[in-house]
A and B are shown apart, each in its own frame.
Chain A
Amino acid sequence: RKEVEQDPGPFNVPEGATVAFNCTYSNSASQSFFWYRQDCRKEPKLLMSVYSSGNEDGRFTAQLNRASQYISLLIRDSKLSDSATYLCVVNGRGGGKLIFGQGTELSVKP
C-alpha cells in the first residue's frame, strides 16, 4: 500500500464549480497533515494544514478522519488561478520528514 494515496485526476472543471480531492494515508502514527499546491515545475507551497476538527480558509475546506486515515480538500467557487497540482502530505514516521502523495492535477476552465 502506498504511504499516501490520492485520486489520480486530472480534474477538469468550469469556473465556479466545487471540486473535492481525497487522500488516504497508511501510517496511523502520522501526526501532521497538509495540503500543498504545486504549480508546473515550481516548488510545493503550503495551502493549509489539516486538523482533526476540520478547518476552513476562505473557499478551501480541509477535513481529517483519523479512524479512516482519510483527508479531503474541498474547493468552492473554483477560479482559473486554482489550476495546479494539489499534494496531500503527511509527516513521516517519527519525525519531521514529509511524505507526499502523487498529487491531483486540477484544471479550471473559463
Chain B
Amino acid sequence: EPEVTQTPSHQVTQMGQEVILRCVPISNHLYFYWYRQILGQKVEFLVSFYNNEISEKSEIFDDQFSVERPDGSNFTLKIRSTKLEDSAMYFCASSALGALSPDTQYFGPGTRLTVL
C-alpha cells in the first residue's frame, strides 16, 4: 500500500539553527500538507500546498517557515531559525483531491523535532 514517508524520524537542533524536514508524498497525490503536534496537544494545521504554491497557511506558519517541492517527489518544510517552542512532532500529509470533494489525507509517520 502506498504511504507517505518522512525523514528524519528525529531531529535535534540548537535554538537559532535552520532545519529542513523532508517528506515524500504518495506518488499520484497532488495536495500536500504540514501539520504539527506539540507534546500533549492537538494536531494543528500549518500549511497546504498545491500546484507549486501555498494554498492556505495558518497563523503559526510565519516568516520563519517555508515549504518547497524541489523535485517531483520531495516536499520539504524549512524552519529558518528554530525556537524552543518549535519542538513538536511534524506530520506531512497528502491527498488526491484536496478541497474539491471530501477526501482522505494520508499522514506520514512524523519527524520529532527537538530544539535545545
Contact status A31-B102, CB under 8 Å: yes
User: CA A91 – CA B104 in complex, angstroms?
Assistant: 10
Indicate with 1 or 0, residue by residue over B73-116, a CB within 8 angstroms of chain A CB atoms: 00000000000000001010101001100111111111010000
Contact status B45-A97, CB under 8 Å: yes
User: CA A98 – CA B34 in complex, angstroms?
Assistant: 11
Contact status A103-B105, CB under 8 Å: no
Q: Is B18 an interface residue (CB 8 A)?
A: no
Contact status B104-A98, CB under 8 Å: no
In chain A between 83 and 104, which residues have their CB closer than 8 angstroms to a CB of chain B?
Answer: 87, 91-92, 94-103
Q: Is A65 an interface residue (CB 8 A)?
A: no
By beta carbon, the residue of chain A nearest B39 is: A41
A99 and B45 in contact, given A41-B89, A42-B109, A44-B107 (Cβ under 8 angstroms): yes
User: CA A49 – CA B108 in complex, angstroms?
Assistant: 19
User: CA A99 – CA B104 in complex, angstroms?
Assistant: 13
Known A-B contacts: A43-B110, A49-B102, A92-B56. Give 13 more (CB < 8 A). Answer: A38-B43, A41-B89, A43-B107, A43-B108, A46-B104, A87-B43, A95-B55, A96-B31, A97-B56, A98-B33, A98-B45, A100-B42, A102-B41
